[in-house]
Amino acid sequence: MPHPTEQDQESRAVEPDTAPEVPEAAPEVLDSAPEVPDTEDAEGAADEQTDETPDAGGHRDEAGRQSDDGDEPDTEQPARPEPAEALRIFRVGDAIEPVHDLELEDVPSKLRRVRRRDRFVWLHLVEPDEETVRQARDVLGIHPTAVADVVSRRQQPKVQKFDEHLFVMLWNVLRTDDDALLLGETYLYIGEGWLLTVQRGNGGELPDLPKLLADAPSDAHSDTMPAAYTIMAQIVDGYAKAAADIETALEELEEQVFSESGREDHRRIYRIRKKIGRVDRAVSSIAAALHESTRHLETLKVGSEQIVPYLHDLLDDAAGTAALINNQSKGLDAILSSYENNVAARQNQDMRTISAFAALLAVPTLIAGLYGMNFENIPLVQWQYGWVAIGLAIVTLDLIIYGLFKRRRWL
C-alpha cells in the first residue's frame, strides 16, 4: 500500500473545518414579558375572564397531551357534566350573573372580590342533601343552630339574629296538579356581601327564585337585604293569593249550603277546611315572627334605607292576610254550623213526610186486615156492593188525614 506523500499531507492540513457553527442562545422570553400590576382591579378582571378564556394551542386529550393546532384527538372526548341544580351560585350586582365551575370552597375568595365592586354572592340550594348544607355552613360561617333547622326540617317560621348573619325561615304555599295546597320551606341566611337561600318543596312545585330576582327592578338586587325582601314579599303574596281563592270557594260553598236543590259535598268542605288550616298556620306564624323581629330586620337596612317602607308594608300585608284567614276560618265554622242545621232540618222534614205517608197507608192496611179475617158478622160483608162502600170509606179517611198533614206542613 503506497504511503501518502508530503504534498498530500500538506493539502489535508490546509482543509477548512466543515463543522457548523452553533448560534448564540436567544434571550429568555420571560425577560421581555411585561409585569402584571398587583392591583385589585386587575385581579377582579382576571377572575371575571377565567371562565371565558379559551385554551391556547389546541385541545388536550384524556391523558393531558396537546394535539396539533387544535386537531381533534383520536379518542372521543367525554361530555362535560352540567352543574348540579341543587347548588347554583350567582354574582349579583347590576344584573344576576350565574357563576359556573365554582366549588363551595372557592366562595370565600369570590366574596372578597365582589365586595370591592358593590356586589354580593348568592348561593341558591334546592332540595340539598345534608352534606351540602354542612359545607355551606363551614364556608360561610353560619351558626350551627341555624343550619340544624334546615337539616331537621318542619320548623316553625322564625326570624333570628346572629352575630354574622340574619336567619329567616318561612313556609310558602305551593300548589299541586289537583289544586291542593302544600307547605314548602324557604330558608334565608342574610350576611354582609352574601346571601344563602335554601328551598324544599315537599312534593310541590317550587317558585323560580333566580327568575324572580331577574325580573324584579334593579333596586331589588342592589344589596342582600333588598334581595331577601323580594323573596319574602313573593312568599307573603302567595298567602294573599291563596286567601283570595279560599274566599271565592267560601262564597260558592255558602250558596250551595243554603240552596234547596244543592247536593251535599262533604269532601269539598273538608278540602276548604284543610286549605284554611295550612295557610293560617303559615301566615300567622310568619306575621308574629316578623312583628317580634322588626328591630333585627332594621339592623340590616344600613346602606339600604329605601327598603324600610317596604319592610313595614310587608309586615302589614302579613298581618292583614293573617287576620283575613282567621276571619275565613270563623266564616267556615259559621257555614258548617248552618250546614249542619240545614241537614238536620231536612232530615226532620223527611221524617215527617215519611210518617205522613205511613199514616196514609195505615188506614187501608188496617181495614183490609180486618175484612181479610173472614168474620161473618162484619158489616157490608153480605152486601153485593159492600166492597164499593169500603173503598169509598178508605179514600175518604185518607183524604181527611192528608188534609191534616198538609195543614201542618208535613207534606
Give dist(CA 107, CA 290) in Å, integer.
30
What pTM was computed for the model?
0.64
Q: 266-292 and 224-257 helices cross at what angle (nearest 10)?
A: 150
158-182 as b/e, with b when 16 or more CB fall inside 10 Å?
bbbeeeebbbbbbbbbbeeeeeebb
- Record the cell numbers describing residue 379, joined without a space: 158489616
Contacts of 200 (CB under 8 A, 6+ apart): 127, 153, 184, 185, 186
Domains of the chain, each with CATH number or no CATH: 87-342 (3.30.460.20), 347-407 (1.20.58)
Residue 384: what pLDDT? 79
In 3D space, the residue among 312, 250, 325, 247 whose CA is nearest the CA of residue 285 turns out to be 325
Query: Which position has the higher pLDDT, 197 or 373?
Result: 197
pLDDT at 145 over 60: yes
144: left (phi over 0), alpha (psi -120 to 50) or beta: alpha
Tell me, what's the pLDDT at 358?
Answer: 92
Q: Tell me: the pLDDT tens digits for 250-287?
A: 888 888 877 766 566 678 888 888 889 888 888 888 88
pLDDT of residue 35: 41
Q: Any idea which of 86-90, 164-168, 290-294 has the lowest mean pLDDT?
A: 290-294
CB 88 within 8 A of CB 81: no
Backbone angles phi, psi at 44, to 5 degrees: -70, -40
- Give me the half-sphere count of Cα atoms (radius 13 Å) on the Cβ side of residue 255: 5
Residue 84 contacts residue 67 (beta carbons within 8 Å): no
The pLDDT of residue 110 is 72
- Kind plus residue range of the DSSP H or E element containing 344: helix 308-371
Question: For residue 304, what pLDDT is reported?
Answer: 59
Backbone angles phi, psi at 57, to 5 degrees: 90, 20
Average the pLDDT over each of 65-74, 98-107, 287-296 and give the range with the smallest value. 65-74
* pLDDT (average), residues 391-404: 90
Strand partners, 187: 169, 198
The beta strands (E) that lie in 87-164 are given as 87-92, 96-98, 120-126, 158-161
What pLDDT was estimated at residue 391?
A: 87
pLDDT of residue 186: 92
pLDDT tier at 161, thresholds 50, 70, 90: confident
The C-alpha cell at 57 is: 394551542
Separation of alpha carbons 157 and 191, rounded Å: 19
pLDDT tens figures, 188-212:
999 888 899 999 887 778 889 999 9
Cβ(200)–Cβ(153) under 8 Å?
yes
Beta bridge partners of residue 158, listed in sequence order: 169
Give the residue, 297 or 327, on which the prediction is more confident. Answer: 327
Phi, psi (deg, nearest 5) at residue 80:
-75, 125
Q: Write out pLDDT tens, residues 75-134.
A: 344 333 344 457 888 888 888 888 877 777 777 777 767 665 667 889 999 988 888 888
Q: Residue 187 above 90 pLDDT?
A: yes
Q: Where does residue 166 fall: left (phi above 0), alpha (psi -120 to 50 degrees), or beta otherwise?
A: beta
Closest CA relative to residue 92, chosen from 208, 196, 236, 235: 196
Per-residue pLDDT band for 339 (boundaries 50, 70, 90) equals confident
Measure the CA–CA gap between 268 and 247, rounded to whole angstroms: 14
Q: What is the reported pLDDT for 154? A: 67
Calpha distance 130→64 (Å, rounded): 35
Q: For the segment 6-45, what is each residue's pLDDT rounded down to a tens digit?
A: 444 444 443 444 444 444 443 333 333 334 344 444 444 4
pLDDT at 395: 92
pLDDT reported for residue 305: 65
369-392: average pLDDT: 81
Query: Residue 270 has what pLDDT?
Result: 85
